Amino acid sequence: MDTARKLKINCKPLDDLLGGGLEGGIITEFYGEAGSGKTNICIQATRECVLNGIGKVAYVDTESVSMERFIQICKGSYNKILSNTIFFKPSSFLEQEKIILGLPKVKNIGLVVVDTINMFYRIMMEDDEEGANRSLVRQLTSLQLLARKQNLYVIITSQVYTTENGDFRPFAGRGIEHMAKTIVKLERIGEGRRKAVIMKHRSQPEGREAVFYITKNGLE
């Protein structure tokens, strides 16, 4: 993979916001409330990765992605995209860790998606806070090394909580902030209308915003 090559999501406002698309060799995080567009971005990036011949997609699915939505976004190329997407469906945070640590053995991957990385983390935190934090560090470190060594694209999404001042932040935000080189906050601002805000980026200014729409066909 060309180190300067970007993976376009094929949604112009988002691609422009990211300086031309997703950057290879790093972790990119999207976080936001339910319905803010996180999974739609993951599916559309999956579509673009396969259709542009970048490689297969390893999709770690903790939230049971809708196949109906997958078909809508992938349209007539659904079968090709599905045959080049390897779905992993963990049922616990430690199982998720095992899957992520095993990804370097999977051949011909161009994109890794973890949607969402912190759902099972929240559950494990209730019984074993220290274990959950250690597992998260191992998972993020493994993803970062995989991205860098194989120059892959890596997307993680995060569930959020509401702060005292009414803002929302991702669970385990500090641990993720250290590892992710691009962080984008997603907000619902109307029917089908979403705002993306750069919270961290290596070349784009923090606070930069873009508005996009979620439609039947995906992101536009």
Instruction: Identify which has the larger pLDDT, 52 or 173.
Output: 52
The edge-to-edge listing of strands for the beta sheet with 218-219 is 85-88, 56-61, 109-115, 153-158, 27-32, 182-190, 193-200, 209-215, 218-219
Alpha-carbon span 68 to 26, nearest angstrom: 30
Is residue 53 classed as helix, strand or coil in its secondary structure?
A: coil
The 10s digit of each residue's pLDDT in 182-191 is 999 999 998 8
DSSP one-letter code for 203: S
User: What does the CA dihedral 218, 63, 29, 151 come to, rounded to 10 degrees?
Assistant: -90
Alpha-carbon span 60 to 116, nearest angstrom: 8
Write down the pLDDT at residue 175: 80
The 10s digit of each residue's pLDDT in 165-218 is 878 887 776 788 889 999 999 999 988 899 999 999 999 999 999 999 999 999
Scored b (16 or more CB within 10 A) or e, 146-183 reads: bbeebebbbbbbbbbeeeeeeeebbbbbebbeebbbbb
